[in-house]
Amino acid sequence: MSNAEDFHIKHIDSSLHNEDLAPLAPEKRKWGWFEIFNVWTNDIQSLFGYTLAATLFISYGLNGWAVLAGIVLSGFIVMGLVQLTGKPSVKYGIPFPVMARSSMGVRGANFPAVVRGIVAIFWYGVQTYFASTAVALLINALAGPGSGEKFLGLTSVDWLSYLIVCVFQIALFIRGIDWVAKFLNFAGPVVYLVMIALMAMIWYKAGPSLLSELGNIFRGTGEYAGGPIAAFAAVVGTMVAYFAAVVINYGDFARFVKSEKHMTAGNFLGLPVSLTFFSIIALVITAGTVVVFGETLTNPTDIVARVDNLTLTIIAALTFFVATVSINLVANFIPPAYDIANLAPKHISARSGGMITAAIAFFIGALWVSFISNMGIAAFVDTLGAVLAPLYGIIVADYYLVRRQQLKLQDLFSAEPGSTYYFNAGWNRKALIAFAIASVFSVASVWTPGLNELSGYGWILGAVLGATLHYVLMRRHCGIVRNAAVIG
C-alpha cells in the first residue's frame, strides 16, 4: 500500500464508516518521532507517575540499581507491546476500534471499544478533577483563599477551577489532532525543564549530604515478602501496568505517524530513555527531601508546600496543570472519542464522541470528592482494566499469527455476510470464547486474595493467555487464510 487510492474505501457500509474511522492516507500523516516521544513523555510526567517512580526505589528493599534496571526493562517491554499494536495502524492508517474488527468481527469490535471507553471516561473525569486542583492552587496563591463554604465537597474556587479545566480540554480537542500534538510537544519539554529546576533547587538546599542519602537509598533497606526476584518482578510489572491503558489503543496515535521508523524512534526515546531519565530525577528529588525536610516526600505538591515560595507555587501549579491535562488527553480523551464513534459511525463522529465523553466525565469528576471516591469503585475500574488484557492478546495474536500481518482493508468496513470479518452475524465466536476463558484469570487477579501477588503483572499474563487461546481456537482458520493468500 503506497498511494492514496489504496486507502480509499470503495464499498462503504455507513454503519461502520465515517471520516474519523476511515483509513488515513500517507500524505495526511504529519507526526514524526518527536510527537510520539511526547505522547509517552506526557504519560510519564503525571503527578501519579512521579510518585510511583519515587516510591519504587524505597518500597521493595531492593538495591537502587536493581530498581533502575527494572524500570528500564519495563520501558522496553511496553515499547515492545506498543510496537505490536502500533505497526498495523501505521501500515493501514486505522484506529484501534477498526483494527479490533479483524479479530472480534465488524460488530464484535464494539465490545472492546466499549470496555476501553468506559475505563477511559471514568479516569478522564477523575484526572480532570485532579488537574483542577492545580488551577485552584494557582488561584489561591494569587488571590488568597475564598469562601470556605462547600457544595458537593468543593469550594467556589474549586468549582471555578474545575470548569476552567473542562472548557480548556474540550477547546483543545475541538481544534483537532494537530493542536493536541502541538500542546503535547509544548508540555513534554516544559515539564521536564521545571522538574530539572526543582531537582537543582533541592540539590542546592541539600548540599553534599544528598549524595550520602542517595547512597542509602541505593543500598536498599528492608525485605520484600517474596524475596528479591519477586520484588524485581513486582517493580517491572507495576510499571508495565501503569501504561496498560494506552497499550491496547496505541493505534489511535500511531495512525498519524509518517512511518514505522518514526514510530520506533519515538517509542524508544519516549519509553525506556525518557522513563529512566524521569525516574532518576524523581529519585534525586526524593533523596533531597530527606535531607532538607527530614522525611521522605514522594508527592510533588507536598514538596512545593514545604518550600513555601510564591514563585515556585505558581510555576509548579502551571506545571502540574499542563502535565495532568496532557496525560488526560493521551490516555483518557482521544481513545473513548474513537470508541464511541465506532458504536454508530453514521451518527457519531470522533468530535461527537469527545463531547459525549466530556459530558459523562463531567459528572464523574464533579462527584469525585463527595461521592465516587468513597464508593470503593477502584476495584470496578481495575476489573475493566483486567478485561482489556486478554483483548490485547487476542488482537495481537490475530494480526501476527492468524492474518500474518495482512488485512483486507475494504472488508473492515463491510457487514456483508461472507465478507472476511463478518464471521457469525459480525461476531467472532472463537475470539469471544478465548476472551471469556482468559478474562476469568485476569479478573481473578483483581478479586482473589490468593492472586494478589499477581496484581502487578497479571495484565501481561492475561494478555498471553488470551493470545494463546485465540491462536489455538483459530488454527483451522489460520490454514484457510494462508491458502487464500497463496491462491490470491
The DSSP-derived string for 29-57 is --B-HHHHHHHHHHHHTSHHHHHHHHHHH
Which helix (H) or strand (E) covers residue 439, if one does?
helix 429-447
Work out the angle at residue 183's Cα, subtended by the Cα atoms of residues 121 and 180, and round it to the nearest 5 degrees: 50
SS3 content of the chain, % helix, strand, coil (to 5): 75, 0, 25
Residue 103's pLDDT band, with cuts at 50, 70 and 90, is: very high
Residue 7 has pLDDT above 60, yes or no: no
pLDDT at 5: 45
| pLDDT tens-place string over residues 173-194 | 888 878 888 888 888 888 888 8
In angstroms, the CA 93 to CA 144 distance is 50
Nearest to 60 by CA among 185, 227, 182, 240: 227
Residue 63 is classified by DSSP as -
In angstroms, the CA 117 to CA 134 distance is 26
| pLDDT tens-place string over residues 371-384 | 777 766 666 666 76
Ranking 81-90, 305-314, 323-332, 468-477 by mean pLDDT, the lowest is 305-314
Question: What residue segments make up the domains of the chain, in order of their start?
Answer: 28-487
| pLDDT tens-place string over residues 261-295 | 999 999 999 999 999 999 888 888 888 888 888 87
More confident residue, 228 or 249: 249
pLDDT at 443: 81
Sole residue written with cell 528479591 = 228
CATH of 28-487, one of 3.30.300.30, 1.10.4160.10, 3.40.50.150, 3.30.1490.20: 1.10.4160.10
pTM for this one? 0.84
Average pLDDT in the chain: 83
